[in-house]
Structure 1
């Protein structure tokens, strides 16, 4: 979780956003009440946030359909949902084998 927080903070700074407000429900399953998520959804509906920056939709639920449902709810409320860019794996350059006769 701290890794995600650091990545969000660094990315927000890089793109010129203010320091992110973190909404964190640790422990409850996707079927239980998640007060921080409810708080986020209410604040988006009230227009207090126009962008939600996330590592990925999995933060809303381990169930892909439920997670994407939250993303769509946020978008319908007029919020832009931005995912952190995915790290790219650098492929080492290969040297051309020397040709010998």
Structure 2
């Protein structure tokens, strides 16, 4: 169960979508997003997962998360990339902008290339 606006402290969330169904529920992505939250000194993010769902199908966890953001219960959503919202760039950006419109940020994981470059330079 996810927190509601009435149990109020604005939370951090992570959103993942995978198709086809992933038995391990994208565990590597979950771990990476939790580590990223720790590095940013954020509280442990709540997980919203649409597992086995195509981006062209209804995504109930995404809709629940948008509702939580609209209610002010979630202030930041961590994702590995905007592709989790849609494989179509314009549609993915539109979802990110819906979060922004209700005062909720969307943060993506830094790319591995970016991390390697930072650690070398």
TM-score range, shorter chain: 0.7 to 0.9
Distance across 2 between alignment mates of 1:30 and 1:82: 19
Q: Secondary structure at the match of 2:68?
A: helix
Alpha-carbon contact 2:75-2:105 (below 8 Å) kept: yes
Unaligned runs of 5+ in 2: 1-25
**2:78 pairs with one of 31, 35, 53:** 53
Structure label with greater radius of gyration: 1
Which is strand-richer, 1 or 2? 2
Structure 1 consecutive aligned stretches of length 4 or more whose deviation exceeds 6 Å = none
Q: Does 1:33 align with 2:58?
A: yes
> TM-score, structure 2 length as denominator?
0.70
What CA RMSD, in Å, does the superposition of the two structures yield over aligned residues? 1.5
Aligned residue pairs total 91
Distance across 1 between alignment mates of 2:78 and 2:56: 23
Q: Does 1:12 align with 2:37?
A: yes
The aligned residue for residue 105 of structure 2 is 80
> Which has the higher relative contact order, 1 or 2, with Cα contacts under 8 A spaced 6 or more apart?
2
Distance across 1 between alignment mates of 2:54 and 2:79: 19
